[in-house]
Structure 1
Amino acid sequence: MSKQPKASPSFAALVQAYFAEYLTQQRALSAQTIAAYRDGFVLFLGFAESRLGKSPVTMALADITPELIMAFLDHLERQRHNSVRSRNARLAALRSFLKFAAHRDVASLQVIERALGVPVKRFERPMFGYLSREEMLAVIDTQDGTWIGQRDHVMFLLLYNTGARVSEITGVKVGEVVLDDGAACVHLHGKGRKQRSVPLWRSTVKAVRAWLRLNPQFEMASPLLPNRNGHAMTRTNVAL
């Protein structure tokens, strides 16, 4: 007797395999990257549900047309006011999933090929402005003497000293700052689990030491720059 052809996996099964197996086990991407892909998918599925009138569990690969993707990207820019860079990042997440699906559902190759034809959007990279050293020091030295003011003073010093991303600085723990004379540095954890150590200036070391004396309750695993609740600061905390 001839074998029955193997049924194509459902859209829901493909999404689950993509996040549970491919990104975490085969690609071994960082938790931050997976979270970004997940957030993009949540936005896309919510948009697709409202536009197609289908819940995510009833969707099929055939529903992911170039027209749907373009409408979603336009929605990100017009309704959610995303930048072109963010728009392209969401598209990159969708393209990654479609390329994965092409290996799991050969019968849908033509559909996937059409969807992959949606291009990224070109944009002009703006020239970055910058503060002079005197202007930067004026910003750093502006503090009101409060606990939050002293914390922000240390944060600005670390940002200026290291050139690190905001997320890298807010993620620093007390035990990751070395204040020994001649070997002072901070250990940073960047995107993609990249790690590096950056030397600290004497002025930065002095400020961090004063900050730790002000907070003797800090432990080695405590965030160096916590919010009012003692947790690591978020980007929103920094923006405010």
Structure 2
Amino acid sequence: MLAIPMKRFDRPVLGFLSREEMQAIPEAPDARTWAGERDRALFSLMYNTGARVSEAIGLRVGEVAVNGSAVAHLHGKGRKERSVPLWRTTAHLIRNWKRRLDYGGEENFLFPNRGGGCMAHSNVTQRLELAVSAAAERYPQLARRSISPHTIRHTTAMHLLQSGVDISVIALWVMRAPPRRTYTFRRISP
């Protein structure tokens, strides 16, 4: 069986959005509503960090620092961790969102559902569809495209590449970094 060659097929080209299209998506939700402000902060963080949906919805309040050097500490597949710096606009949105959360606790989800629990992947996909529909009023071409949360991840990588960022840096930014190693030293008495 191992000698049978694999079926050849064309892999689909992964899509990404232009900067203007991507910028329109986080701006689309109504910031006057609780869900709208959450969605703006969530989509901005996903674009800024290139986070997978599971990484974004699993973030806790204490894992995103917005004062001083703003950074998000993401936990990816296979218990891989990475820390990604946040842009000023993303940090500002998250800072405002944290104020609005007002239910305390560093261990609470940063982007909760209405009940305070973890959002589902399908909920993020649904909220993104609503934002894309609203953004399509300004950019009609968005209505004809299939845009998923993973499209945002590809958009991040492509925009970094187009900006001249080295591919190895993009891999660390968007992909996963090797696990952090901790060493325990014990003192040996003479």
Shift in Å at residue 118 of structure 1?
8.6
- Equivalent pairs: percent with the same residue? 52
Question: Deviation per CA, 1:5-31, whole angstroms, max 9, x where unpaired?
Answer: xxxxxxxxxxxxxxxxxxxxxxxxxxx
Question: SS where residue 148 of structure 1 aligns?
Answer: helix
Question: Tell me, what secondary structure is at the counterpart of 2:39?
Answer: helix
Runs ≥4 residues deviating over 3 A? 116-123
Show CA shifts across 1:34-63 (max 9, x none). xxxxxxxxxxxxxxxxxxxxxxxxxxxxxx
Shift of 1:137: 0.7
Q: Find 1:165's aligned residue among 22, 41, 52.
A: 52
CA displacement 1:54-110 (0-9 Å, x = unmatched): xxxxxxxxxxxxxxxxxxxxxxxxxxxxxxxxxxxxxxxxxxxxxxxxxxxxxxxxx
Equivalences, count: 125
Does residue 219 (structure 1) correspond to residue 98 (structure 2)? The answer is no
Moved more, 135-144 or 153-162: 135-144
How far apart are the structure 1 equivalents of 2:89 and 2:28? 15
Query: In the alignment, is residue 190 of structure 1 matched against residue 106 of structure 2?
Result: no
Per the normalisation by structure 2, the TM-score is: 0.61
Q: Compare relative contact order (CA 8 Å, sep 6+) and give the higher one, 1 or 2.
A: 2
* Residue of 133, 144, 153 corresponding to 2:19: 133
CA displacement, residues 109-139 of structure 1 (integer Å, 9 cap, x when unaligned): xxxxx7x889865542111221111111111
AA of the residue aligned to 1:215: L
Alignment partners' CA distance in 2, 1:194 and 1:121: 33
- Against the structure 1 CA distance between its residues 124 and 178, is the aligned structure 2 distance closer, same or farther, given a 3 Å change threshold? same
Distance 2:23 2:78 in 1: 31
Could you say which structure has the higher helix fraction?
Answer: 1
Mapping for residues 62-141 of structure 1, pairs under 5 Å: 122-141=8-27
Picking from 33, 39, 45, the partner of 1:152 is 39
Where 1:226 maps in the other structure, the secondary structure is: coil
- Residue segments in structure 1 that go unaligned for 5+ positions in a row: 1-113
Q: Which structure has the bigger radius of gyration?
A: 1
**Counterparts of 1:202 and 1:187 in 2: how far apart (Å)?**
16
Residue aligning to 1:237: 123
* Counterpart amino acid of residue 197 in structure 1: S
- Look up the match of 1:142: 28
User: TM-score w.r.t. structure 1 length?
Assistant: 0.49
Please tell me the root mean square deviation across aligned C-alpha atoms, in Å.
1.8
